Structure 1
Amino acid sequence: MAKFASGALLEGIKLDQNSQSPLYRQLYIGIRKLILSGDLPPGTKLPASRTIATELDISRTTVINTIEQMISEGFLETRRGSGTYVTQRLSEMTEFYQTSVEDDPESGEEDPNLCLSKRGQGYADLPHQYEPEGIFTFRPSQPAYELLPHDIFSRLTNRYQRKPKDEYLTYSDRGGYMPLREAISSYLKASRSVRCTPEQIIITSGTQTALNLASQLLIDPDDSVWMEDPGHTAARCVFQGSGAKVVPIPIDEHGFNPALCPEEEKNKAVKLAYVTPSSQHPLGRRMPLTRRIKLLEWAQQNNTWIFEDDYNSEFRYTGRPLSALQGLDKSGRVLYVSSFTKILYPGLRLGYMVVPKSMIEAFAHASTILQRSTPLLTQQIIADFINEGFFATHMRKMRKVYHQRQQILLQAADKYLKDLVEISAVDQGFHCNAWLPEHADPEMVETTLRAAGYAVNNISYYCMKPYKRKGIMVGFAGTPEDKIPEGVKGMAKILREIL
């Protein structure tokens, strides 16, 4: 009788051959529902797999796989020489599975008592500006994707992928792939006057990872971190997420100036100062040598770390770049950070940090715990890209291209935007700032322009305290030359309507 009942019920299972769900999964769900509903009570014998396959018009292999899965999960059990039965131990699982939302994830209600940790909630509450999807015109900080050396990357990739050695398939060295660290060390000595050995270089997946490493190793909760204001919002979020007290320091014509700290912060300990001396972000101001020396003296007197973000030093269009702060530092308190985001592309996820000699072991060890570095293949490709001269060639080419695009932008702005915004050239970087009239609403300007396809950024997003001027960041590096004039013309039309 049990055999007939189970056979009749299994015939009632409906399978959809056109469903995206595999047949074995549909059969599994159908049998499970019969078991949990009591229609197949404990001890019920199932028909033979061949019979089920014939009656449901599916392969016997599908049936066997389903039954084996349900036996492993405890729904079914086998008796030697007798067949397959619904398990007698079902009661201990029934209540849980009857309330399970596995087959309908939209139907469940999560426990309201589940919550983030205080640190997790803090991260969730921090500001974040999502990049507009599918919009590339005038996006700040975007390189020229269409001019990337894809053919070279392909050749270098094939070099390692065609017949990879065993050591290419494992993790890289602590701190990163040594040939890449050696290449970066040579490059930094020659181009940025950075004083370092390859061992001092820690390969990261970008500046944000370097910031997180520095925060974890150097900053305790409630430590004071001084930051440029306006400044890099993503960096601020990392420090705030680590529990630091971030103090905004107003920017003057030469960038970061500790003398401008709020009155209530004077004579208080400062654990770390975050600076962008080569091209202050987002204002683009350059810190002169005299200010750099004073900043290092201030840091030594106050026993303060300096995090030097040299994010786009390669793209200077007038004169030679000044030496990095790290190269001037004699007390080993500057952490120098840069990446290949602007030179190549953000999706590469490859950056580096130069740490003091006394910190090599600590940072290398923490790096293996917190990030495991960028994939080894990527590091190998970029090491060869640098060592074989492709890097320098590409950088010189792109510097000329970006300078030309900036000039085209400025010419178009002079023609179409002259009476609407104030925009001027920058010595370095990927964007110009367009200063709006006093009566303008910069958030509304940003929203309107983005809706029309212009990926501009509101400068106030980078401010902890209101800045004296209202403006938007207009990128030029990632927009092809032939699209810039028409883009500026279209932007001018919109601005005339809303200003």
Structure 2
Amino acid sequence: MRGGALAPAEPLPSTRLLAASLKLARGTVVEAYEQLIAEGFLESQRGAATRVASTLSVAAPTRRVLKPTSAGGRCRLPQSSLPEPAARFAQIAREFSPLPAVPFAISVPVGLTAPADIWRRLGNRIRARGAAAPAGYEDPKGALPLREAIAAYVRKSRSVQCDVAQVIITSGTQQGLYLASQVLLGARDEAWVEDPAYRGLTAILENNGRGSAMIRVPVDEEGLDVAAGMRLAPHAKAAFVTPSHQYPLGMPLSMARRSALLGWARTHNAWVVEDDYDSEFRYEGYPFPALQSSDPDRVIYLGTFSKILFPSLRLGYVIAPGDLADAFCGARVLMDRHPPNADQHVLAAFMAQGHLERHIRRVRNVYAEHRAHLIETLGELLPSEIAWVQPGDQGMHLVLWLARALDDREVATLAARAGVAVRAVSPMFSQGNGRPGLVLGFGGFSRTQMEGAARRLAEVIRNAIRRGAKPRRK
């Protein structure tokens, strides 16, 4: 019927004849006819033949060429037949596919960086009884014990000024960035975004209809160039920044730039979205306090536990100015009502009993050692005219710049074939401003694993140089 082989109002054979022809029980055919009648494909009148519904609209038959999937299983339609947004979101799925848990993937909780066994024991006890037991719908802002623990933690560790009512639990920083874009930006509003920037942020703005409003502001050794932002878009409504540890390059936003950024926001009634994603991991000196501490009424503060504990936890938080807290809560309701409840209570107990601070101290020491050893190893394996490390003293990754002759995306692909997980830096820049480089995470890998991966990566880079043009000197 759908293919046009049976026309509207065309009579069908009786159930008895069709059953005999197909060698089926008559009851099976009767059930099939009754189902098709119920769905509106057939019509039947007492004393008359069952017919194809006269009102059935049949599209002209088309020939569809089906292509096998990459898995070799079910066939799929050609891309040209899919909705335009589907192609964009499929590309995002490919771009954000997780790296395998091998060096140099970021935040892999193995070995010394895995949470202590107390997490498992605490989780088993709290899920078995009490607040983490199955329940009905909960507060969209999240579990109160966790929000209380977060408010106390950020006041102590990051000088953030807030109360519990301003804390909204999210499924990680990615959701916090999405909520901020929904709450802060109108249809024609512009937003400053660092250049380079976290690809998860630029993908959000590109795919929610705000790509043209994204103003890419260059970054230098002091972080976001506020003066450049004011020249490019002085009346922007928001600035998305990573002031403690610029992603991906690593430098902090200088005190002078911080003052200039907040001054611009006050003057133009704009908002600053502070992504403080790995401020806990500074290896030399003391970190700057959160930008939010200097202007809590103008800064939306984002934090996450995915990096400091483990990514599959999928818990983060937004600390919104009081006037915006209900707006962020409402935007979150439309996404998934509220975050899963059980792990919130486990994390609240983990923090309240002091386990999180002990975990951070332990992991910080591991990462500091891994970072120093990786920088030394790469320096021994690769001459500086081919590759060199971006200076920095914070974070869970480093950037390895590559000679201009190299395509970092191709190098990342070749490295994956050699069993090394890296991300290319150039896609994080705006079009035409990219530089070839690789993001290398420390993870919880052993020294032997790190050294072996560094050798394989160095060989991939040397081979790429041999195949390509002569590299420029740094």
Residue 246 of structure 1 corresponds to 214
What amino acid is aligned across from residue 368 of structure 2 in structure 1?
H
Candidates 302, 306, 310, aligned match of 2:268:
302
Residue 283 of structure 2 corresponds to 317
Q: CA deviation at 1:277?
A: 0.6
Q: CA deviation at 1:63?
A: 9.8
| Cα distance in structure 1, aligned partners of 2:95 and 2:76 | 30
What's the CA shift string for 1:403-422, capped at 9, x where partnerless? Answer: 12112212322322245422
CA contact (8 A) 1:349 1:374 kept: no
| Cα distance in structure 1, aligned partners of 2:56 and 2:436 | 63
Q: How does 1:221-260 map to 2 (within 5 A)?
A: 221-240=187-206, 241-243=208-210, 245-260=213-228
CA contact (8 A) 1:457 1:474 kept: yes
| Cα distance in structure 2, aligned partners of 1:56 and 1:296 | 78
Residue 151 of structure 2 corresponds to 185
| Cα distance in structure 1, aligned partners of 2:430 and 2:13 | 69
Q: CA deviation at 1:366?
A: 2.1
Q: CA deviation at 1:275?
A: 0.8
What amino acid is aligned across from residue 302 of structure 2 in structure 1?
V
Candidates 136, 140, 150, aligned match of 2:101:
136
Candidates 298, 319, 330, aligned match of 1:333:
298
What amino acid is aligned across from residue 235 of structure 2 in structure 1?
A
Aligned alpha-carbon RMSD (Å) = 4.2
What amino acid is aligned across from residue 227 of structure 2 in structure 1?
A
Q: CA deviation at 1:391?
A: 1.6
| Cα distance in structure 2, aligned partners of 1:300 and 1:94 | 60
Q: How does 1:93-108 map to 2 (within 5 A)?
A: none
Which structure has the larger Rg?
1
| Cα distance in structure 2, aligned partners of 1:65 and 1:186 | 64
CA contact (8 A) 2:79 2:87 kept: no
| Cα distance in structure 2, aligned partners of 1:441 and 1:295 | 34
| Cα distance in structure 1, aligned partners of 2:78 and 2:457 | 47
What amino acid is aligned across from residue 103 of structure 2 in structure 1?
F
CA contact (8 A) 2:375 2:389 kept: yes
* SS of residue in 2 equivalent to 1:273: strand
Q: CA deviation at 1:209?
A: 1.4
CA contact (8 A) 1:215 1:242 kept: no
**Cα–Cα, structure 1 residues 155 and 71, in superposed 2: closer, same or farther, change >3 Å?**
farther
What's the CA shift string for 1:91-121, capped at 9, x where partnerless? Answer: 556968x99x9xxx95989996x744xxx48
Residue 382 of structure 2 corresponds to 417
* SS of residue in 1 equivalent to 2:363: helix
Say if 2:361 is the partner of 1:396: yes
CA contact (8 A) 1:202 1:363 kept: yes
Scaled by the length of structure 2, the TM-score of the pair is: 0.80
* SS of residue in 2 equivalent to 1:186: helix
CA contact (8 A) 1:75 1:87 kept: no
**Cα–Cα, structure 1 residues 43 and 474, in superposed 2: closer, same or farther, change >3 Å?**
closer
What amino acid is aligned across from residue 141 of structure 1 in structure 2?
I
Moved more, 176-185 or 361-370: 361-370
* SS of residue in 2 equivalent to 1:280: coil
What's the CA shift string for 1:102-151, capped at 9, x where partnerless? Answer: xxx95989996x744xxx48955987772566633333533334543374
Say if 2:168 is the partner of 1:211: no
Q: CA deviation at 1:469?
A: 5.3
CA contact (8 A) 1:460 1:466 kept: no
Say if 2:392 is the partner of 1:430: no
What amino acid is aligned across from residue 255 of structure 1 in structure 2?
G
Residue 493 of structure 1 corresponds to 459
Q: CA deviation at 1:280?
A: 0.5
Q: When the two structures are aligned, how many residues end up with a matched partner?
A: 453
